[in-house]
Amino acid sequence: MKKILALLLATLLLSALCVTSVSALPDGMEVYKYVGETKYIDEVVALSFKTVFSPDTLVYGEIYEYYSEDSTATGDEVTPDYVLVEISGSRGILKDSMNIFGNYVLYIDGGSDPFVFNYGVYIPAEGKIYDLVDAWEMGLDGIEKAFTESGIGILLGDMDKDRTLTVKDATYIQKCIAELQEFANEDIIELYSEEKTLYISDFNRDGVRNVKDATAIQKYIAGLEY
């Protein structure tokens, strides 16, 4: 049922997006740009679908560019170290996936080719693209910014959803543990595993939500080891 809903939502999203015409893409491919730029779309599409089926319709957006002191400069233009792109083909095969990246959790109920979470990391200077999961595991410089700056993923322990850990989040957990209030239904993150439930409030990731999570958040805020 969830996959059917995902397909319906994807269809509605496509109908609401604007179509972008880009000359070097495969003949007949329609690209739906929904956010950001399309500066690197030709290179990204060519690399992303080199070994997989090329779809007729594509949802595409360049949603974050990372620059460092070592970023390449050509004339007045500076090339980003990497570009975080969201890209997905219109396919019938959907994949449920979930992963934890540092203090962020990313999950998708029905992703499509070519990347696990529909996110790729393009490195212009190298002309290479990586799945976000691979870029994280290889320790790409500045990859954590893909989460802290772009707005993707859910920050564990962030109970008020302001994408920042504060004493308010710790207090919220303490009140719920003391039964002064109840955890929100959204605290449970699905698709983690059949054996284990993941909670947004489970900041220390020990599988349970308790006062230890509130303490760990307070230590994190204070810059202490938790």
Q: What is the mean pLDDT of residues 20-27?
A: 55
User: Is residue 57's pLDDT more than 90?
Assistant: no
Mean pLDDT rounded to a whole number for the chain: 82
Which pLDDT score, from 0 to 100, does residue 8 have?
40
**What percent of the chain lies above the pLDDT cut of 70?**
75
The secondary structure of 27-91 as a DSSP string is TT-EEEEEEEB-TTHHHHHHHHTSSSPPPSEEEEEEEEEE--TT-EEETTEEE-SEEEEEEEE--
Other Cβ atoms within 10 Å of 208 Cβ, number:
12
User: Is residue 55's pLDDT more than 80?
Assistant: no
At 11, the pLDDT band (50, 70, 90 cuts) reads very low
| Residue ranges of domains in the chain | 2-148, 156-221
Task: List the structure tokens of 81.
Answer: 């170290």
For 83-99, how does the pLDDT look when each residue is reduced to its tens digit (9 = 90+)? Answer: 999 988 765 556 678 88
At 16, the pLDDT band (50, 70, 90 cuts) reads very low
Q: What is the pTM of this model?
A: 0.80
Multiple choice CATH, 156-221, 1.10.1060, 3.40.50, 1.10.1330, 1.10.10? 1.10.1330
For 104-145, how does the pLDDT look when each residue is reduced to its tens digit (9 = 90+)? Answer: 999 887 767 788 899 999 999 999 999 999 999 999 999 999
> Is the distance from CB of 116 to CB of 93 less than 8 angstroms?
no
Higher-scoring residue by pLDDT: 77, 44: 44
